[in-house]
Amino acid sequence: MNKQYFPGLDGMRAIAVIAIIIFHLNPKWLPGGFLGVDTFFIISGYLITTLLIKEYEADQSINLVHFWYKRIKRLLPPVLFMMFIVIQYIIFFDRALLFQVKKDMYAALLYVSNWWYIFDGLDYFQSLEPRPLKHLWSLAIEEQFYLFFPFVLLMLFKIFKKKSNIFVVFLIVSLISMAIMWMLYDPSKSISRIYFGTDTRLQTLLLGAMLALIWPAYKLKKNPPKIIVWVIEIIGLVGAIFLVRSFFQFTEHSASVFQGGLYILGIFTLLFIMSSVHPDTLMSKFLSLPVLTWIGRYSYSLYLWHYPIIVLMQSHFIQGQIPWYVHVISIILTVIMAVLSYQLIEQPFRKKGLKTFIDVKSFKAFITILLSLYLLVSTPYLIKTVKAGSPNNEKIVITQTKSITPAIKRISPLQIDNVSEPSTEITQVYPYAPLLIGDSVLVDIDYQIRKVFPNATIDGEVGRNIYKAIPVADKYTDFNRRDAIVVLYLGTNGDFEDIQMNTILKKFNKAQVFLVTARVPKDYEAHVNEEMYRFSQKYKNVHIIDWYKVSQGHSEYFAPDGIHLEYPGIKAMVKVVTDEIIKVVEK
């Protein structure tokens, strides 16, 4: 067995990256597939620590500069190549994304994407906005780990000498990391802080490091007693079953995942690794199958390319109504780009570093692939296809609301014959002063709803969901009175937990509250609407405005994304909101 190469780990990488890709294609297919990232973290912690320990044992030192240089030439060139192609695609076909993607790109180049997304308030699971570089948050955490960990390990070797003492230090710090995640977890709020945080994710990286201290693959001997092999087989099988089962069982809404669950999953993953790296186990032989090791070798490039391809492909279709062939094309493109990136970028830079640019053959190959990609994305067929579903013709207009937050109103060009002006259709104006809190769909109807309720207070913001609305509701405590009317349109941008809905409803427990059901082409649509009906039955002051039912079968109500409203949809929405409010308050 090559001491520098452990094929079993490539097999584990294959399982992890397959889980992640399936999850990003459709979370419903593998709801816990996002946990594959933690498998990568543990493997990285194990491998890096193994290499550093081996170097220290040989030289009584660790060459930090050499280590960092190897990491940079291994990881950075493929990222730069991927970002270059993504940016070119966006410039050609989806310029509306360029402003946001540029900011994400700068964060990615500095390897601080995870903290940028926390600062930006991005929800990894519930954002409808296409962010093709969002997956680079995990690479940012790994690079931050690579930056400080070798120095810390070297200092610990100098201070403690014994690996057992270093193991205890890592154990304590990993438990602290787990505790931080547990303490910061609040089901009524976004999990972005704990999901993206380096401090909360350190636990799994250190678990891998701990295993390297007690189970270094390069020291494992062949042909141990059969009883030992069987014990390793059994614990490895238990770990593998637990890991794969977790991919199917858990979701981002599973509180246990963030309350010690990742740590427990990490421990079972360590058992899986123990069996995977041992040269005499059946598990190692299974994970060394050519198909798995091939996927494992390409796993980094597959991870880099799959997400932007999936996001950009799916952005031209209504979410929840994506044809099967789009998934197939996404997988094929991912494999093609991963292979090209691995062969022309990753491998040459890993072997030659900056000398790659001097190598004439490599340089010619690099230029050839760039030109080929330009030709690919420039074909008239693709231009026609993308234009058909692109929102590029939309205008972005800033409108002032009565709330503190300005809203971004998306107005699509209208092509409707024989439709009178809105002002001629308003048959009655009401003196009521409702509070409406919602997302960009609420922003769509802002102008028209004010014609019916001139005294309305409207607070709409793009991307808002229930947990983001909770602090907004705190600004409107004066609406928690018996004669107040509160309308909540918060089901578009993600599912919610009971505690989140209970929290916001309690803030208006004296008012008449109206929940607007969602029409959103996402898997969580049915659950969101069912929960709204359940809460309306639970509380006497809570009522339903069934936009889902009213809009059924009316594709003309919606913009191409299936969510935002065209003029007929705005009229229908204002009518149903008005009718339900009047029905309740004037009965």
> Could you give the CA distance from residue 130 to residue 127 in angstroms, rounded to a whole number?
8
Q: Is the Cβ–Cβ distance between 443 and 407 less than 8 Å? A: yes
Confidence label for 435 from pLDDT (cuts 50, 70 and 90): very high
pLDDT at residue 360, as a whole number: 57
> Could you give the CA distance from residue 435 to residue 421 in angstroms, rounded to a whole number?
26
CATH number of 395-585: 3.40.50.1110
In 3-state terms, what secondary structure has residue 435?
A: strand
Q: Residue 421 gets which letter from DSSP?
A: -
Q: Residue 130 gets which letter from DSSP?
A: -
Q: Is the pLDDT of residue 324 over 70?
A: yes
Q: Residue 316 gets which letter from DSSP?
A: T
CA dihedral in degrees (278, 279, 285, 290; nearest 10)?
110
Average pLDDT, integer, range 213-227: 89
Q: Is the pLDDT of residue 320 over 70?
A: no
> Could you give the CA distance from residue 278 to residue 285 in angstroms, rounded to a whole number?
9
Average pLDDT, integer, range 539-546: 94
Q: Is the Cβ–Cβ distance between 371 and 539 less than 8 Å? A: no
Average pLDDT, integer, range 165-175: 97
> Could you give the CA distance from residue 387 to residue 384 in angstroms, rounded to a whole number?
5
Q: Is the pLDDT of residue 423 over 50?
A: no
Sign of CA dihedral 22, 25, 30, 34: positive
Least confident of 229-233, 266-270, 336-340, 464-468: 464-468
Q: Is the pLDDT of residue 403 over 90?
A: no
Q: Is the pLDDT of residue 417 over 60?
A: no
Confidence label for 362 from pLDDT (cuts 50, 70 and 90): low
Q: Is the pLDDT of residue 398 over 70?
A: no
Q: Is the pLDDT of residue 36 over 90?
A: yes
Q: Residue 235 gets which letter from DSSP?
A: H
**Paired tokens of 450:** 């004010």
Confidence label for 401 from pLDDT (cuts 50, 70 and 90): very low
Average pLDDT, integer, range 217-236: 90
Indicate the average pLDDT of the chain: 85
Least confident of 386-395, 462-471, 556-565: 386-395
Q: How far is CA 95 from CA 105, 134, 373, 461, 579, in A?
A: 15, 17, 18, 22, 40
Least confident of 123-127, 141-145, 514-518: 123-127
Across the strands, what pairs with 558?
565
Residue bearing tokens 């109103």: 409
Q: Is the Cβ–Cβ distance between 445 and 439 less than 8 Å? A: no
- pTM recorded for the entire structure: 0.77
Q: Is the Cβ–Cβ distance between 488 and 515 less than 8 Å? A: yes
Sign of CA dihedral 108, 114, 115, 120: positive
Q: Is the pLDDT of residue 131 over 60?
A: yes
Q: Is the Cβ–Cβ distance between 304 and 82 less than 8 Å? A: yes
**Paired tokens of 363:** 């340089």
Least confident of 92-101, 248-257, 379-388: 379-388
Percent helix, percent strand, percent coil in the chain, to nearest 5: 65, 5, 25
pLDDT at residue 407, as a whole number: 39
Confidence label for 369 from pLDDT (cuts 50, 70 and 90): low
> Could you give the CA distance from residue 461 to residue 443 in angstroms, rounded to a whole number?
7
The three-point CA angle 349-351-356 to 5° equals 45
In terms of residues, how long is the chain? 587
Average pLDDT, integer, range 527-555: 93
The three-point CA angle 18-22-27 to 5° equals 145
Q: Is the pLDDT of residue 367 over 90?
A: no
Q: Residue 413 gets which letter from DSSP?
A: P
User: What angle do helix axes 163-184 and 198-214 make, rounded to 10 degrees?
Assistant: 150
pLDDT at residue 13, as a whole number: 97
Average pLDDT, integer, range 194-201: 96
Starting from the edge strand earliest in sequence, which strands make up the sheet with 457-460, in order?
457-460, 435-438, 485-489, 512-516, 542-545
CA 552 to mean position of chain CA atoms? 30
pLDDT at residue 93, as a whole number: 82
Most confidently predicted of 35-49, 185-199, 303-317: 35-49
> Rounded to 5 degrees, what are φ and ψ at 60?
60, 25
Q: Is the pLDDT of residue 27 over 60?
A: yes
Alpha-helical regions (H) of 315-359: 324-341, 347-352
pLDDT at residue 335, as a whole number: 96
Residues designated as active site: 440, 561, 564
Nearest C-alpha neighbor of 504 from the set 520, 518, 491, 521: 491
In 3-state terms, what secondary structure has residue 342?
A: helix
> Could you give the CA distance from residue 114 to residue 126 in angstroms, rounded to a whole number?
16
Confidence label for 368 from pLDDT (cuts 50, 70 and 90): low
> Could you give the CA distance from residue 471 to residue 469 in angstroms, rounded to a whole number?
6
DSSP 515-528: EEPP--SSTTHHHH
In 3-state terms, what secondary structure has residue 558?
A: strand
Q: How far is CA 106 from CA 103, 133, 136, 143, 266, in A?
A: 5, 11, 11, 15, 31
Q: Is the pLDDT of residue 159 over 90?
A: yes
Sign of CA dihedral 21, 23, 28, 29: positive
Average pLDDT, integer, range 29-52: 96
Domain residue limits, the chain = 7-293, 395-585
Average pLDDT, integer, range 533-543: 93
Average pLDDT, integer, range 56-69: 91
Average pLDDT, integer, range 108-115: 95
Percent of the chain residues topping a pLDDT of 70:
86
pLDDT at residue 370, as a whole number: 57
> Could you give the CA distance from residue 457 to residue 462 in angstroms, rounded to a whole number?
17
Mention every residue, 6+ apart, whose C-beta is less than 8 A from residue 346.
Answer: 74, 77, 78, 300, 301
Longest dimension (CA), the chain: 89
Q: Is the pLDDT of residue 587 over 90?
A: no
Average pLDDT, integer, range 258-285: 95
Confidence label for 125 from pLDDT (cuts 50, 70 and 90): confident
**Paired tokens of 202:** 């350190």
Q: Is the pLDDT of residue 308 over 90?
A: yes
Mention every residue, 6+ apart, whose C-beta is less than 8 A from residue 359.
Answer: 348, 352
In 3-state terms, what secondary structure has residue 486?
A: strand
Average pLDDT, integer, range 196-207: 97
